[in-house]
Structure 1
Amino acid sequence: MLAKLMASCPGLGQAIAGLGYDRHAPLCLLSSGLSNDNYVLGQGAAPRRQHCHGVNDSHSEQCDGALSRLALRVNRDVAALGVGRVNEVWAWRQAASAGLAPALVWVSQDYHCYLSQYVPNEPPESTNTADSDSVLGRSGAMIVDLLGARPPSEPSNSAVSRLGNLLCQLATLPVPELTISTLEQWQRYDSALKAGMGDAPEGVQQGIYRILERRTQILDWITTVTDAQQGRLQFCHRDLNPANLLWSAQKCLAIDFEYTCGAGPLNELATVLATHNWSAPDTHWLCHEYLSKLGYATLPYKAIVAAVNIYWVFSCCWALLQAAVHQEPQYMTWFSQSELMLS
């Protein structure tokens, strides 16, 4: 498997050798997602060299300490209306330099493959997150019922505190040069859906039609969120679902920065609320902890709900665009589950 990947990714073999690994090092699949596959390289075998030095590539970085294992990510060619690989790598490095993401060790010239520090994922037993193999989480209507009571002074689940710390620290990173407002993101999806409708399979066309029928409602949600954010702009990962978090006893790290850009705080919070099934008190604590540290005197409840609804709209749009191009069933499954959250 490693030999096949090296053949498809120029420079990977040299990078692995430069980092002290045998080209025949064991390779084990960690996860297979809709936009990338992830492997652990060198499981059970220590590298010959102790530091990340000697890789003859302009994208390589040095990192402290021994790397007994590496994570290898192979990107799919998915037209996801993301932020582009250059912006993604920049954002990843910003987060890694602040200790909020694994160290990015090497990036291929064509951005097809990345090597990074392997961090074992040790999620707490009571993370209570949505199943990472399913899109199903919480709709905006469900969030309404979670934010009625006074937030507790501390979360009952320590994992929520770690996630809250990650959210707050990510918000302090330099704002990416690429900024995308909620309205701009919708306009991109709206244009792409219209452009792809004519050649799409019938089922995809019907899905696109149903989303575009909601245009007035979607614009109302966007206006509500935009008004509440009052021009706030920050570093936003925009995809902090359970599959993009790594847990340890001390902290929570982020991975996969494919959608990171400068955006408003409610865009960041919406993904977490939509995809994590914390208890009502802990959800309320997380909202209050995050937004109060960003200067909100009170929680903008209506805007939070609208932001979650927009998250599911964008999830639908993304899935439809993939289904139109790739015509693979998992994308329409993703769309159908996301659409349920808008019912």
Structure 2
Amino acid sequence: MLDVNAAKPYSTGESFNTLLPILKQAGLEQVQSICELSGGLSNHNYKITTPTGCYVLRVNADAADSFCTREQERFYWQQLAQAKLAPALLWVSEDERYYLSDFIESDLIESDLIESDFIESAVASAAECAAIEHTMIDSQCFQRKRFIHWPALERQTSAADFVLGQSSLGILHHGSSPQACLSPEPRLMPIQQDKHPNSTARLLLELLLQLRELPTGPYAISITEQWQEYHQQMLAYQASLTTMHNWNERVAKLLNIQIAIKDWCDNLAACLIKPQFCHRDLNPHNLLLKNNRLYCIDFEYATASHPLCELAVVLATHALTPAQQNELVTQYLSEHPYVSINAAAAVPAAIDMYWVFACYWALLMAAQTEPSRSADYLAWFDCFWPLITQAS
């Protein structure tokens, strides 16, 4: 995860003297500055400024290697760069530890605040107040407008939150659970009903539709296979880590919801016709806005998988109104060639599985990291856990 707009003076991670020889290997001789880019949860990223341009140097975390194959990551990165949906990957070190890519200076997006602190709360929760560049008053509409960087749109949304929002639009069936009450054929609500009109949903939809058309490539994994892979890794660490009491307590929580996880996976498998290319981590920190289009970064999880993976991440991590969520779901699934007509009913299950995978990720990273950093990943687990349906 990466916010390329929140650069800070070089401070942590690799030492300055360590990075200079690496940059020389990459062909950058006259380095004017190195700034660490904030927002990363695992890998370190640095903005490199030279007389001829700006670049991003990514230092891959060893622990992240267990989640991806670097060859696979680069395959999809280069595929999206060729499609003009990602920055160009310019150089890779022989040991695959360092990546050099183009730096894209992300534009601001206008966020209208009307009768609510909707976006304001998202900005505060994401600690992105420093990214707000401009505030003005529209005297005609009495609207306070802000121009923010894309990561300021971050907001964690559970399946229950999503269903509650859709219920407020009056488009849901009654039922006893989020999965039971979402209509299999949601109706698109008029956008004028949205109290917070902006271009966020349109930009996200354009990106999702573009990604859907990309070749799947030679790699693929189903949601069920991903769950089983993470689960087996977790059990292997559980057998070998005998002293991490706090870690095992959190493992027990995941073990207690295995039946629910299987049900969510089964619901998703039931509506799948064919896998498609999926980035699988389209959170706001992995998206750049430039010239009114979105670009993707961070391809560690990219592969062919379930089409609802893409939709679920966007719904789970962006501060979207119920009307914007409805617009995304309806337009994305309209005549979608790779899912059945009732796929909308499985959207809550896909959101739940996104947070389930986030919890597995946090535990696996904690198990592979030194104790001082391990506590940070356990804290991320505690942040993600309440977002899972039936979590207690």
Matches of 1:120 and 1:79 in 2, distance apart? 26
Kept in 2: contact 1:147–1:284 (CA 8 A): yes
Residue 387 of structure 2 corresponds to 341
Residue 257 of structure 2 corresponds to 214
Residue 29 of structure 1 corresponds to 36
Matches of 1:191 and 1:137 in 2, distance apart? 27
TM-score, normalised with respect to structure 2: 0.75
Residue 207 of structure 2 corresponds to 166
Residue 102 of structure 1 corresponds to 87
1:319 aligned to 346, 350, 362, which one?
Answer: 362
Kept in 1: contact 2:81–2:88 (CA 8 A): yes
Kept in 2: contact 1:192–1:321 (CA 8 A): yes
Kept in 1: contact 2:268–2:349 (CA 8 A): yes
1:290 counterpart letter in structure 2 = Y
Residue 177 of structure 1 corresponds to 218
RMSD (Å) for aligned C-alpha atoms: 2.3
Residue 54 of structure 1 corresponds to none
1:247 aligned to 263, 283, 289, which one?
Answer: 289
Deviations 1:226-257 (A, max 9, x none): 11123x21110000001100012410111000
1:192 aligned to 233, 241, 266, which one?
Answer: 233
Deviations 1:169-207 (A, max 9, x none): 111111031101011001111111111113151011011
Question: Unaligned regions of 5+ residues in structure 1, if any?
Answer: 48-67
Residue 147 of structure 2 corresponds to none
Q: 1:204 to 1:123 in 2, by over 3 A?
A: farther
Kept in 2: contact 1:38–1:72 (CA 8 A): yes
Matches of 2:39 and 2:327 in 1, distance apart? 33
1:316 positional shift:
0.5
Residue 306 of structure 1 corresponds to 349
Kept in 2: contact 1:319–1:335 (CA 8 A): yes
Residue 5 of structure 2 corresponds to none
Aligned runs of 1:89-128 on 2, under 5 Å? Answer: 89-126=74-111, 128=119
Corresponding residue SS for 1:278: coil
- Report percent identity of matched pairs: 36
- Asked if 1:288 corresponds to 2:330, the answer is yes
Matches of 2:237 and 2:280 in 1, distance apart? 24
Matches of 1:114 and 1:138 in 2, distance apart? 32
Residue 161 of structure 2 corresponds to 142
Residue 55 of structure 2 corresponds to 70
Q: 1:108 to 1:132 in 2, by over 3 A?
A: farther
1:277 aligned to 304, 316, 319, which one?
Answer: 319
Q: How many residue pairs end up in the alignment?
A: 313
Corresponding residue SS for 2:166: coil
Corresponding residue SS for 2:109: coil
Kept in 2: contact 1:291–1:299 (CA 8 A): no
- Asked if 1:152 corresponds to 2:137, the answer is no
Kept in 2: contact 1:157–1:282 (CA 8 A): no
Deviations 1:240-289 (A, max 9, x none): 00110001241011100000011010111111111112011011101112
Corresponding residue SS for 1:170: helix
Residue 11 of structure 2 corresponds to none
Question: Unaligned regions of 5+ residues in structure 2, if any?
Answer: 1-14, 113-118, 129-153, 172-186
Kept in 2: contact 1:147–1:301 (CA 8 A): no
1:159 positional shift:
2.2
Q: 290-299 or 186-195: which moved more? A: 290-299
- Asked if 1:16 corresponds to 2:1, the answer is no
1:145 counterpart letter in structure 2 = L
Kept in 2: contact 1:146–1:284 (CA 8 A): no
Kept in 2: contact 1:178–1:262 (CA 8 A): yes
Corresponding residue SS for 2:368: helix
Matches of 1:219 and 1:123 in 2, distance apart? 41
Kept in 1: contact 2:55–2:103 (CA 8 A): yes
Kept in 2: contact 1:151–1:288 (CA 8 A): yes
Kept in 2: contact 1:132–1:242 (CA 8 A): no
1:31 positional shift:
2.1
1:152 counterpart letter in structure 2 = M
1:132 positional shift:
5.0
Q: 28-37 or 170-179: which moved more? A: 28-37
Kept in 2: contact 1:136–1:337 (CA 8 A): no
1:14 positional shift:
2.6
